[in-house]
């Protein structure tokens, strides 16, 4: 397991040790790193001084990823930085008592201590580029909070993760104490084994195949449609060649759209097909190839060369030479580098941001429509006629033989005119 060791002069290093390593041997490793004699090394874990040299790290409660603080002890056994202090205690470096900012019980000194702990941990990571890189790789959420220069946000994220870790540890303790044939204990054991297998698989992938964690550049080529330059996406998984309505308008071919072929395109998402352009010439390098397009209403990519065109012209996607080879003519065209890709395909474009932006736009649109409906409802209710008729008119019409609901409905219809309402009621009765 990997343990982060720090001193009060902001020296930081990581030791990879076994959980069965005794404390006295761990102090010897710290002596090699810091130059402080092992007899003068005091180790603090979660604010508690580790004093039994012959206990293992596991017995002392040290787990993978924990932080241990080194104190140089004086002759009286206490830290040199605190030997003259009236309190004579080690600095409290306890992650478990860090609370989410804004949810404290009004204890201002406790909140100050929490923020001081978060600030101390933040400085430790900022002072070590290696640890900062590991944090970005293994815990991107905490790394983002650290980079935001917002101490309260960093303390909040760190407190949530510590709370989650304590919860999982409590589950593990309950699992160990439970009956071996308990169904809940079996589920917890299976989940823990699954998580360990996932972590081991990820560590192996990062060590032996780090390129798997990179982002692959999509395959785009330059072409021309009716003389207009277009960046086309090569997609052998698409059944047909597709073009966006915006690109069709830009290429002046919307006049050729046959709306009889309108429909719905279903795949990863659902989009509306406006129609089909049956024949268009696409210029790739010096070749002029004929193809057809299905025009989609809200397609982010301008043009997508599907399997129908790739098979018709016997195209070959040569990833070794990074070219698209047209088999019918032998022409080769290179795939575009990342800096020439359209905005919708750049690696710097965040899909999560685009989704959030689209959701915000839809939410804003729905709120505006709801507001309009509410205002129209208010205007209709304000413009509706008030009940200007009398109760005596209602009773007179009821005595003739009509129900109260019918009478009120007709009076509302004729703005309280009793004679017109009576005529209308008799006319409805006489209707066959």
The tokens 């005794």 sit on which residue?
22
The sign of the dihedral angle between the CA atoms of 20, 26, 29, 33 is: positive
- Beta strand extents in 54-188 (DSSP E only): 67-72
DSSP, residue by residue, 174-238 = HHHHS-TT-HHHHHHHHHHHHHHHHHHHHHHHHHH-GGGGSPPPP-EEEEEETTEEEEEEE-TT-
Could you give the CA distance from residue 41 to residue 48 in angstroms, rounded to a whole number? 14
- Residue 431 has φ and ψ, to the nearest 5°, of -70, 135
Of the candidates 235, 308, 393, 412, the residue annotated as catalytic is 235
Could you give the CA distance from residue 91 to residue 46 in angstroms, rounded to a whole number? 10
Tell me the pairing of strands 263-266 and 303-305.
unpaired
Could you give the CA distance from residue 242 to residue 222 in angstroms, rounded to a whole number? 16
Whether residue 235 lies in the annotated active site? yes
264 within 8 A of 318, measured Cβ to Cβ:
no
Enumerate the active-site residues.
235
């Amino acid at each position: 397991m990997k343990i982060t060791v720090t001193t009060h002069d902001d020296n930081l290093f990581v030791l990879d040790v076994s959980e069965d390593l005794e404390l006295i041997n761990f102090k010897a490793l710290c002596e090699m790193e810091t130059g402080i004699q092992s007899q003068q090394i005091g180790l603090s874990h979660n604010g508690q001084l580790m004093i039994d040299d012959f206990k293992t790290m596991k017995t002392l409660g040290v787990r993978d990823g924990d932080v241990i603080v080194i104190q140089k002890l004086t002759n009286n056994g206490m830290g040199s930085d605190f030997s003259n202090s009236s309190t004579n205690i080690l600095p409290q470096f306890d992650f478990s008592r860090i609370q989410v900012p804004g949810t404290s019980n009004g204890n201002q000194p406790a909140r100050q201590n929490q923020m001081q702990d978060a600030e101390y941990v933040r400085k430790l990571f900022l002072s070590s580029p290696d640890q900062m890189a590991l944090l970005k790789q293994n815990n991107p959420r905490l790394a983002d909070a650290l980079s935001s220069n917002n101490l309260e946000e960093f303390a909040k994220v760190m407190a949530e993760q510590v709370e989650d870790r304590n919860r999982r540890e409590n589950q593990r303790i309950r699992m160990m104490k439970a009956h071996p044939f308990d169904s809940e204990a079996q589920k917890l054991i299976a989940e823990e084994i699954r998580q360990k297998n996932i972590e081991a698989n990820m560590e192996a992938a990062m060590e032996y195949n780090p390129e798997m964690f990179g982002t692959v550049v999509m395959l785009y080529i330059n072409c021309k449609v009716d003389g207009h330059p277009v960046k086309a996406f090569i997609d052998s998984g698409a059944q047909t060649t597709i073009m966006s309505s915006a690109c069709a308008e830009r290429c002046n071919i919307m006049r050729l759209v046959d709306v009889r072929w309108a429909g719905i395109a279903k795949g990863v998402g659902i989009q509306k097909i406006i129609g089909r352009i049956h024949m268009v010439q696409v210029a790739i390098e010096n070749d002029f190839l004929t193809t057809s397009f299905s025009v989609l209403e809200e397609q982010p990519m301008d043009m997508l060369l599907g399997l129908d065109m790739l098979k018709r012209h016997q195209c070959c996607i040569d990833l070794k030479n990074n070219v698209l080879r047209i088999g019918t003519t032998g022409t080769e065209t290179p795939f575009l580098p990342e800096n020439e890709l359209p905005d919708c395909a750049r690696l710097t474009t965040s899909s999560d941001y685009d989704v959030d932006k689209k959701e915000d736009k839809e939410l804003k649109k729905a709120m505006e429509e709801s507001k309009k409906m509410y205002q129209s409802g208010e205007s209709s209710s304000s413009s509706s006629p008030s009940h200007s008729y009398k109760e005596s008119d209602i009773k007179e019409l009821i005595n003739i033989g009509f129900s109260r609901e019918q009478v009120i409905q007709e009076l509302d219809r004729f703005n309280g005119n009793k004679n017109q309402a009576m005529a209308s009621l008799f006319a409805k009765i006489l209707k066959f």
